[in-house]
Structure formats: C-alpha cells, structure tokens
Amino acid sequence: MLIREESFYYTTGWSDPLVGVGAAVNQQISIAADVPFKAYYYTVAVRQGVAGAELLVFTFAGDVQINDTQVGKSLFNIAAPIVSISGDGQLPYNLAPPRIFNSNTVIVFLTTSNVGTRTQVNYTLHGAKLYNA
C-alpha cells in the first residue's frame, strides 16, 4: 500500500501559567479523525515573567511527560527534564524513529515547573498526515 505524506503541525498553544516550584499543567493535542499523524520532531517554546511582559526563554527548569492516550503509552519512562530533550530550544528534538499517532488520539503533555518564575509553555509536533495513495 502506498502512503502519501502531507506536512502538518499540531500545537498545544500557550499553557495556563505555572507559578511556583511544583506547579503542574496538562495540555492536549487531539489528532484529527481523518488520518494518522507521523511526528518527526518536537519543539517547546517557553515564556517567563509578568503577564503581558513575558520574555521568550530558551531553557526552562521543568519536566515533561508525554502520553499517547489511545495506546496508553508514554514517550518516556519517567517525566524528563525539558532541557534534556529540547536542549536550548533553538532546534527541534528529533523523534528517532518517528512516532506514529493514530487518528482520534489525544496526546497529553504534563509539565511540572522547577522554578518560582511565572512560566508558560507551548509544545509543537512537526510531521505529516498519512494518506493512502
């Protein structure tokens, strides 16, 4: 069976503010019902500071766990430090091998802050929708 790939991106949008050490927030990406999604890369953007005057930062002392709810599997065995998987945030993290998420899947990103600064995060999956050719 031939598969046609069409570039596509899913993003969580900016999270509710994480305020204080141990603060946690859940964000979700719902994969569309039409076709599966093949994720090649993952990126995280982080902004910190007072509401309305946030600064984009490239490192964040926080942890993330990513869970594919349809198959009940996490991408990591435990929550991983964001900097260990996204580095300084300037390049996307390469998911090797690429991860295929079935249609109608909800992907949950659980972020926990390890800093006292008001923080918001935004995750993006870079990949392709998979169509039968």
Taking only the tens place, the pLDDT of each residue in 2-29 is 789 999 999 999 999 999 899 999 999 9
Name the residue among 42, 35, 24, 45 with its Cα closest to residue 88.
45
Domains located in the chain, CATH noted = 3-132 (2.60.120)
Q: Categorize the per-residue pLDDT at 89 as very low, low, confident or very high, splitting at 50, 70 and 90.
A: low
Q: Residue 30: which residues within 8 A CB-CB, separation 6 or more?
A: 104, 105, 106, 107
The predicted pLDDT at position 96 comes to 82
The predicted pLDDT at position 102 comes to 93
Each residue's pLDDT tens digit, 59-76: 788 999 999 999 999 988
